[in-house]
């Protein structure tokens, strides 16, 4: 039997890490991630979780210690946000290149300057090329489910890549709502024990990890990560399906989720918590006899391009929502990645919610109206106060 | 869907109150959501927190602009904050005060939550008391579920005391 | 194929790389003069002077010819000779 | 002297790409001899890392990991945590103690890796951090580090007509580490292998963090003939430039006191990095060394 708890998104992530019986946690506090690592500290302090908790002196060291722990053969978990993730940037590449299946929760938050603790997705999207699998949650239940799935995906021999589970800062991290927490025995039965065959540090079988790769070898190592990313598409879907069967909760096909896309010509592509508000609007309009749709991206890296194209085959006008901005290009990351694959459709980019600017149901209604009349390829900043 | 807005000061437990209410609704078999106004306020500064209660799963992620109910933990907040902002027609404003406060055009209910808290808890922390008053006034959550939620939120000695304070307020406001 | 994570599974495989070709001068040990103080053994950056059957021998496959051994030998049992290349 | 005063097992293989006469290679070889095979090494980016692990070959016969420049202490923290957790939870690693040793150069330790080092030491991890000190960024071509001594010429502290080399004295790492209250801090030199190995062994046996700063002359960076690596290390100790001491549980102990300190000039004159010095500048260095030796009771 499961237990339903009314908890925050950060607590849901902490519960999931506990259920996965992680061996090592190395973490540094940052708003709005803190309640996750506080909760984990409580679990360890109360003997509910048998793990080494390393209270590192920075996020750079949090990731470095996580890599060290995972390379030694332990199941490692950490959590961060925004500036902390940016500080990790260098070693995020190392984690992927060294093929250590670290799982990290990231509380999506804007980047300085000006300093801003509120939600957008600039932090994780700025890490898109580091070789991390990136998953995004719509609600706190999905946070818990994704963190559990993340371990199974990361540790799959066909993948062996680190996974970042993203949740919108405050909107999920600090919001309580009912979350079904499965039994640990069922979770461990689902993900298994981490027994790495490729990387561990044991004097009985010494290996060298983190070697120098000269021009003879480097390109192949990058290609191997790309291959693992492509493998991950199937693994993520399979893990999702197996999870759905065991725990009775499904999210589209695991990589994307289609919501009323069959008859809709005007559709939104979005990622994260805003998808909930959009679904409400879609149901509202359906009652009025208007068909609009949503394509939710759950997995941003690897980006399931073919799935996205297929899901949008009936769409005409595609509004792509970005909580990030590539400055100097006036496009968000999702638009930049996706639009070129939708050449037969009108695509319009909407920059929304930067630095915690609230996105209201009216904003979403306005976007559905606008995408029909707006010109192709345009970028609109929603809610911008222009002087 | 019913939406509640709490006005308090940092450290008075407004966020906890919003969560207690959400959990109580959950125990009543409803769906719920509670979140703070995402600010950087410190102890003493005006803060807000929100609760949503619905019969269906709550997917809406925007902030609350048009609440059904407003709970004011400290009347001095009204000098600097417009507690009536966006309140829905027929909405209720519950204020912790000794005075008889009237706000033109609004349904205002008052309760001396500080008095109850001092009497039952021995400290002027009014969040659980106000939750009890809210339950009595609106019937949006049952007192049984509210007490369960409070007991779960405050393990140890504080739990029963806070549940008593809530029940006392509930009995005073029921049917008002 | 590069190993997953560029991991090297053969400990000490640098031994495949014979650095003896780097040498310009070659240390030659006179076994008769050697007092087995172990200075050459312990100070060698390559670890290429090893004891075998009670004698120290220089492995010229790896010796880079730094001549620390010659310098540190207290009885001048090691002499540098020019490599004939 | 006969018999084997040193362990014969070689855990650091030949064929590495270190310069002829490389002091860093001697550090690694001696440290592993002392620590033994039940050891896991975390290595900061630097000469030692680059020269020992060009894929697909490694000089290491113990488990070894490198992640980046500034984080050897943090990586070692994670490794140590993993060893503790896997021992406790899954009975891995058996009964014997596993040594976790981090190697970092002076730049990777005193400069860019300083924060990670301070954190790891303060947190009390059971690890040994060995700073192999060659007093500049040798891997990138001899740039000045916080560990570069006064008036030494490097590529970023060149001896010009106006500025005469490094303007600041060497950062005092052992005392900074001692201030962390860790159980064991020591200085060592590759020219005193018994002393160095004894200290590594002790550091491994102690529960909790240990820090050893080992001086390691560098033929390329200091500018001297390769055969003089050991001689220079010895001169550093004999002149008082590099005192050998331990601070065990807060107690300072000098390990070696030369009968009569040699004049600093004997040490300086062998090295290209000091070639620009005039007698006045040499006497300035002598004075700073004299002051330091007074402090340490040398």
User: Do residues A220 and A292 both lie within one domain?
Assistant: no
**Do chains C and B meet with 3 or more Cβ pairs nearer than 8 Å?**
no
pLDDT at residue number B3? 98
Containing A149, the helix (H) or strand (E) segment is: helix A140-155
Dist. CA A207–CA C12, nearest whole Å: 10
Domain coverage including residue C71: 28-80
Residue A279 has pLDDT above 60, yes or no: yes
pLDDT at residue number A386? 80
With a CB cutoff of 8 Å and minimum separation 6, the contacts of D57 are: C8, C10, C13, C14, C16, C17, D15
Q: Test A217 with C2 for CB contact under 8 angstroms.
A: yes
Q: Tell me which of C6, C11, C16, C17 to substitute to probe the interface with A (most A C-beta atoms closer than 10 Å).
A: C6
Q: Tell me which of A175, A294, A356, A363 to substitute to probe the interface with B (most B C-beta atoms closer than 10 Å).
A: A175
Q: Test D68 with A64 for CB contact under 8 angstroms.
A: yes
Q: Test A206 with D60 for CB contact under 8 angstroms.
A: yes
Is the Cβ of C5 closer than 8 Å to some Cβ of chain D?
A: no
Residue D3 has pLDDT above 70, yes or no: no
Q: Is D171 exposed, middle or buried (0-12, 13-18, 19+ CB in 10 A)?
A: middle
Residues in chain C: 85
Angle (CA) A83-A89-A92 rounded to 5° is: 130
User: Do residues A140 and A188 both lie within one domain?
Assistant: yes
Q: Test D98 with A208 for CB contact under 8 angstroms.
A: no
Q: Is A19 part of any domain?
A: yes
pLDDT more than 70, % of chain D: 99
User: Do residues A76 and A170 both lie within one domain?
Assistant: yes
Residue D79 has pLDDT above 60, yes or no: yes
More confident residue, D5 or A202: A202
Band of pLDDT at residue A1, cut at 50, 70 and 90 = low
Q: Test A97 with C6 for CB contact under 8 angstroms.
A: yes
A139 contacts in B (CB within 8 Å)? 59
3-state helix, strand, coil in chain C (%, to 5): 25, 20, 55
CATH code, domain carrying C54: 3.30.70.20
pLDDT digits (tens, 9 = 90+) for A339-365: 999 999 999 999 999 999 999 999 999
Q: Is C71 part of any domain?
A: yes
Q: Tell me which of D7, D12, D20 to substitute to probe the interface with C (most C C-beta atoms closer than 10 Å).
A: D20
Q: Test C6 with A100 for CB contact under 8 angstroms.
A: no
Closest C-chain CA to D224: C66
- Of A195, A217, A247, the one marking the end of a domain is A247
pLDDT at residue number A39? 98
Q: Which of residues 77-96 of A touch D (CB under 8 A)?
A: 90-91, 94
Q: Is A343 exposed, middle or buried (0-12, 13-18, 19+ CB in 10 A)?
A: exposed
Domain coverage including residue A282: 256-381
Dist. CA D70–CA A26, nearest whole Å: 17
Q: Which CATH number is associated with domain D21-294?
A: 3.40.50.970
Q: Test A217 with C6 for CB contact under 8 angstroms.
A: yes
Nearest-CB residue to A99 (from C1, C5, C11): C5
User: Do residues A162 and A188 both lie within one domain?
Assistant: yes
Dist. CA D201–CA D132, nearest whole Å: 16
Q: What is the CA radius of gyration of chain C?
A: 15
Structure tokens at D263: 């004049």
Dist. CA B147–CA B153, nearest whole Å: 10
pLDDT digits (tens, 9 = 90+) for D254-286: 999 999 999 999 999 999 999 999 999 999 999
pLDDT digits (tens, 9 = 90+) for D230-244: 999 999 999 999 999
A65 contacts in D (CB within 8 Å)? 74-75, 77-78, 81
To the nearest whole Å, the CA of D179 is away from the closest chain A CA by: 17
User: Do residues A266 and A216 both lie within one domain?
Assistant: no
CA D216, D218, D221, D227 torsion-angle sign: positive
Is the Cβ of C4 closer than 8 Å to some Cβ of chain A?
A: yes
Band of pLDDT at residue D4, cut at 50, 70 and 90 = confident
User: Do residues A17 and A74 both lie within one domain?
Assistant: yes
pLDDT at residue number A15? 98
pLDDT at residue number B42? 76
Q: Test A68 with D42 for CB contact under 8 angstroms.
A: yes
Band of pLDDT at residue B124, cut at 50, 70 and 90 = very high
Maximum distance among all alpha carbons in chain B?
A: 43
Across A330-342, average pLDDT: 98
Across A23-42, average pLDDT: 98
Dist. CA A33–CA A169, nearest whole Å: 8
Is the Cβ of C1 closer than 8 Å to some Cβ of chain D?
A: no
Angle (CA) A271-A272-A274 rounded to 5° is: 90
Q: Test A210 with C11 for CB contact under 8 angstroms.
A: no
Q: Is A294 part of any domain?
A: yes
Nearest-CB residue to B35 (from A117, A174, A356): A174
User: Do residues A217 and A327 both lie within one domain?
Assistant: no
- Name the domain count of chain C: 1
B33 contacts in A (CB within 8 Å)? 175-177
D116 contacts in A (CB within 8 Å)? 57-58, 60-61, 64
**Residue ranges per domain, chain D?**
21-294
Q: Test D57 with C43 for CB contact under 8 angstroms.
A: no
Q: Which of residues 162-191 of A touch C (CB under 8 A)?
A: none
Q: Mapping DSSP to helix (H, G, I), strand (E, B) and coil, where does residue D212 land?
A: strand
pLDDT digits (tens, 9 = 90+) for D113-134: 999 999 999 999 999 999 999 9
Strand B2-9 to strand B69-72: parallel, antiparallel, or no bridges (unpaired)? parallel
Q: Is A129 part of any domain?
A: yes
Q: Test D227 with C16 for CB contact under 8 angstroms.
A: no
Q: Mapping DSSP to helix (H, G, I), strand (E, B) and coil, where does residue D35 land?
A: helix
Instruction: For residue D214, list its beta bridge partners.
Output: D132, D188
Strand A24-26 to strand A52-54: parallel, antiparallel, or no bridges (unpaired)? parallel
Which one-letter DSSP state was computed for residue A366? H
Neighbours of chain D (3+ CB pairs under 8 A): A, C
pLDDT at residue number D2? 45
pLDDT at residue number D1? 40
Is the Cβ of D122 closer than 8 Å to some Cβ of chain A?
A: yes
pLDDT at residue number B11? 86
Plot region of B163 (φ>0 → left; ψ -120 to 50 → alpha; else → beta): alpha
Q: Is C32 part of any domain?
A: yes
Look up the pTM and report it. Answer: 0.97
Q: Test D14 with C70 for CB contact under 8 angstroms.
A: no
Nearest-CB residue to A198 (from C2, C4, C11): C4
CATH code, domain carrying A12: 3.40.50.970
Which domains, and CATH codes, for chain B? Answer: 1-170 (3.40.920.10)
Q: Test A174 with B59 for CB contact under 8 angstroms.
A: no
User: Do residues A176 and A284 both lie within one domain?
Assistant: no
Residue D71 has pLDDT above 50, yes or no: yes
Nearest-CB residue to C38 (from D5, D21, D61): D5
A208 contacts in C (CB within 8 Å)? 7-8, 11
Structure tokens at D244: 């050998």
pLDDT at residue number B142? 98
Dist. CA D118–CA D110, nearest whole Å: 10
Closest D-chain CA to A57: D119
User: Do residues A210 and A305 both lie within one domain?
Assistant: no
Q: What is the CA radius of gyration of chain B?
A: 15
Is the Cβ of D6 closer than 8 Å to some Cβ of chain C?
A: yes
Residue A41 phi/psi, 5° resolution? -60, -40
pLDDT at residue number B40? 74
Q: Test A171 with B33 for CB contact under 8 angstroms.
A: no
pLDDT digits (tens, 9 = 90+) for A195-221: 999 999 999 999 999 999 999 999 999
Q: Is C10 part of any domain?
A: no
Structure tokens at D261: 């300190």
Nearest-CB residue to A208 (from D53, D79, D122): D53
- Of A224, A247, A270, the one marking the end of a domain is A247
Q: Is A386 part of any domain?
A: no
The distance of Cα B84 from the centroid of its chain, to the nearest Å, equals 15
User: Do residues A238 and A296 both lie within one domain?
Assistant: no
Is the Cβ of A280 closer than 8 Å to some Cβ of chain B?
A: yes
pLDDT digits (tens, 9 = 90+) for A105-157: 999 999 999 999 999 999 999 999 999 999 999 999 999 999 999 999 999 99
User: Do residues A289 and A241 both lie within one domain?
Assistant: no
Q: Is B135 exposed, middle or buried (0-12, 13-18, 19+ CB in 10 A)?
A: buried
Nearest-CB residue to D89 (from A50, A56, A94): A50
With a CB cutoff of 8 Å and minimum separation 6, the contacts of A200 are: A71, A72, A73, A207, D63
pLDDT tens over chain C, length 85 residues: 899 999 999 999 999 999 999 999 999 999 999 999 999 999 999 999 999 999 999 999 999 999 999 999 999 999 999 988 7
CA D106, D108, D111, D115 torsion-angle sign: negative
pLDDT digits (tens, 9 = 90+) for A73-109: 999 999 999 999 999 999 999 999 999 999 999 999 9
Across A252-276, average pLDDT: 98
Q: Test D58 with C66 for CB contact under 8 angstroms.
A: no
Residue B39 has pLDDT above 90, yes or no: no
Taking alpha carbons only, the member of C8, C6, C78, C79 closest to residue C41 is: C78
Dist. CA A99–CA A227, nearest whole Å: 12
Alpha helices per DSSP H over chain D: 23-35, 47-52, 72-90, 106, 114-122, 173-178, 193-205, 229-238, 264-268, 279-296
Is the Cβ of D156 closer than 8 Å to some Cβ of chain A?
A: no
- Name the domain count of chain A: 2
With a CB cutoff of 8 Å and minimum separation 6, the contacts of A306 are: none
State chain D's mean pLDDT as an integer: 97
Taking alpha carbons only, the member of A234, A73, A256 closest to residue A153 is: A234
A217 contacts in C (CB within 8 Å)? 2, 6
Dist. CA D156–CA D137, nearest whole Å: 10
Residue A3 has pLDDT above 80, yes or no: yes
For helices D23-35 and D229-238, angle between their N-to-C axes, nearest 10 degrees:
80
Is the Cβ of B153 closer than 8 Å to some Cβ of chain A?
A: no
Q: Test C11 with A220 for CB contact under 8 angstroms.
A: no
């Amino acid at each position: 039997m499961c237990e339903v708890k009314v908890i925050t998104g950060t607590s849901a992530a902490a519960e999931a890490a506990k259920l996965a019986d992680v061996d090592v946690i190395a973490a540094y506090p940052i708003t709005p991630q803190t309640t996750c690592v506080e909760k984990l500290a409580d679990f360890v302090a109360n003997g509910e979780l048998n793990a080494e908790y390393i209270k590192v002196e920075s996020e750079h060291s949090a990731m470095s210690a996580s890599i060290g722990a995972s390379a030694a053969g332990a199941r490692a978990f950490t959590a961060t946000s925004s500036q902390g993730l940016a500080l990790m940037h260098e070693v995020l590449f190392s984690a992927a290149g060294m093929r250590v299946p670290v799982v990290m929760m990231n509380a999506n938050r804007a980047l300085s300057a000006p300093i801003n603790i509120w939600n957008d997705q600039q932090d994780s999207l700025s890490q898109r090329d580091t070789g991390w699998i990136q998953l995004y949650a719509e609600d706190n239940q999905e946070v818990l489910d994704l963190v559990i799935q993340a371990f199974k995906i990361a540790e799959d021999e066909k993948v062996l890549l680190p996974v970042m589970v993203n949740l919108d800062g405050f909107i999920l991290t600090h919001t309580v709502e009912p979350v079904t927490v499965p039994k640990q025995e069922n979770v461990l039965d689902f993900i298994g024990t981490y027994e790495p065959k490729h990387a561990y540090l044991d004097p009985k079988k010494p290996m060298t990890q983190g070697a120098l790769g000269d021009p003879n070898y480097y390109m192949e190592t990058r290609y191997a990560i790309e291959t693992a990313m492509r493998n991950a598409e199937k693994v993520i879907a399979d893990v999702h399906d197996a999870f759905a069967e065991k725990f009775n909760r499904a999210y589209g096909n695991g990589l994307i989720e289609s919501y009323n896309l069959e008859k809709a010509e005007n559709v939104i592509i979005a990622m994260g918590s805003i998808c909930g508000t959009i679904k409400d609007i879609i149901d509202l309009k359906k009652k009025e006899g208007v068909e609009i749709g949503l394509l939710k991206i759950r997995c941003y890296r690897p980006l399931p391009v073919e799935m996205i194209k297929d899901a949008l085959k009936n769409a005409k006008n595609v509004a792509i929502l970005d909580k990030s901005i590539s400055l100097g290009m006036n496009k968000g990351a999702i638009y930049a990645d996706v639009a070129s694959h939708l050449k037969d459709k009108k695509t319009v980019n909407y920059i929304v919610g930067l630095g915690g600017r609230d996105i209201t149901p009216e904003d979403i209604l306005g976007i559905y109206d606008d995408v029909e009349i707006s010109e192709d390829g345009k970028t609109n900043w929603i809610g911008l106060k222009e002087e | 869907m019913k939406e509640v807005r709490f006005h308090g000061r940092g450290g008075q437990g407004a966020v906890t109150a919003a969560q207690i209410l959400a959990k109580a609704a959950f125990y009543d078999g409803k769906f719920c959501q509670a979140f703070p106004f995402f600010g950087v306020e410190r102890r003493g500064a005006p803060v807000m927190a929100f609760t949503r209660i619905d019969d269906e799963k709550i997917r809406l992620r925007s902030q609350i602009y048009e609440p059904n109910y407003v709970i004011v933990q400290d009347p001095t907040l009204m000098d600097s904050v417009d507690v009536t902002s966006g309140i829905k027609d027929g909405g209720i404003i519950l204020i912790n005060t000794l005075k008889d406060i009237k706000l033109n055009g609004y349904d205002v209910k008052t309760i001396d939550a500080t008095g109850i808290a001092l009497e039952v808890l021995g400290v002027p922390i009014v969040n659980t008391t106000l939750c009890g008053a809210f339950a009595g006034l609106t019937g949006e959550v049952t007192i049984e579920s509210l007490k369960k939620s409070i007991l779960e939120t405050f393990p140890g000695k504080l739990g029963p005391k806070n549940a008593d304070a809530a029940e006392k307020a509930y009995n005073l406001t029921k049917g008002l | 194929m590069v190993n997953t994570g560029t991991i090297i599974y053969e400990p000490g495989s640098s031994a495949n790389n014979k650095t003896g070709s780097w040498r310009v001068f070659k240390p030659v040990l006179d076994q008769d003069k050697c007092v087995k103080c172990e200075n050459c053994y312990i100070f060698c950056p390559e670890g290429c002077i090893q004891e075998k059957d009670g004698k120290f021998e220089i492995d010229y496959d790896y010796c880079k010819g730094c001549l620390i051994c010659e310098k540190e030998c207290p009885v001048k049992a090691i002499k540098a000779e020019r490599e004939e290349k | 002297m006969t018999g084997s005063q040193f362990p014969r097992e070689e855990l650091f293989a030949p064929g590495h790409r270190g310069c002829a006469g490389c002091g860093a290679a001697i550090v690694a070889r001696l440290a592993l001899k002392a620590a033994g095979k039940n050891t896991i090494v975390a290595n900061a980016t630097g000469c030692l890392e680059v020269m020992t692990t060009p894929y697909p070959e490694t000089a290491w016969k113990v488990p070894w990991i490198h992640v980046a420049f500034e984080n050897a202490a943090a990586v070692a923290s994670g490794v140590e945590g993993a060893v503790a957790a896997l021992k406790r939870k899954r009975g891995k690693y058996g009964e014997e103690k596993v040594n976790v040793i981090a190697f970092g150069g002076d730049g990777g330790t005193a400069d860019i890796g300083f924060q990670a080092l301070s954190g790891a030491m303060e947190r009390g991890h059971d690890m040994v951090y060995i700073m192999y000190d060659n007093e500049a960024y040798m891997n990138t071509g001899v740039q000045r580090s916080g560990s570069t001594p006064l008036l030494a010429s490097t590529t970023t502290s060149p001896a010009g007509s106006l500025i005469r080399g490094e303007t600041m004295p060497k950062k005092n790492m052992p005392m900074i580490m001692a201030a962390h209250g860790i159980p064991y801090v020591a200085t060592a030199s590759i020219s005193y292998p018994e002393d160095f190995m004894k200290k590594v062994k002790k550091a491994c046996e102690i529960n909790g963090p240990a820090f050893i700063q080992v001086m390691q002359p560098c033929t390329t960076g200091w500018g001297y003939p390769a055969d003089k690596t050991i001689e220079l290390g010895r001169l550093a100790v004999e002149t008082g430039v590099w005192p050998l001491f331990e601070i065990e549980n807060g107690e300072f102990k000098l390990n070696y006191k030369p009968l009569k300190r040699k004049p600093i000039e004997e040490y300086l004159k062998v090295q290209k990095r000091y070639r620009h010095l005039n007698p006045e500048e040499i006497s300035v260095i002598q004075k700073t060394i004299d002051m330091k030796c007074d402090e340490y009771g040398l």
